[in-house]
Structure 1
Amino acid sequence: MTEILLDALKKAAAAHGKYEADELGGVYDEDWPQWYAQHMARTLAESGYLIVPRES
């Protein structure tokens, strides 16, 4: 599981750097946690992973 999350995080970091440069003109993104979460959730879903709450 760690490898899967690490890969998604690395992809998000690379994509976010491009996003900051291209879309924000190099401005620091104050909302980066939201952006990362959305990107990682989308990346994992596209790879066939599903995050669901654990039943109590």
Structure 2
Amino acid sequence: MDTERSGVRASDRERALVVERLTRALEHGRLTLAEYDERVAATYAAVLRDDLTRLIDDLPGRLW
């Protein structure tokens, strides 16, 4: 899916996947609770897929 335009709107499923990824990062000690809360709020406010990607860019692994 890397070939899609950056302006693609995020879906509810993509937001859910990001929250799952953030939850795992919190459980593994990669995020503090404050960082997790901030990123989850930003995830639900995200409009574009790029907005979601920026929230997990510094975490290991790929989402899409």
Normalised by the length of structure 2, the TM-score is 0.38
Higher normalized contact order (CA 8 Å, seq sep 6+, divided by chain length): 2
Q: Which has the higher helix share?
A: 1
Please identify the structure whose Cα radius of gyration is greater: 1
| TM superposition score normalised by structure 1 | 0.42
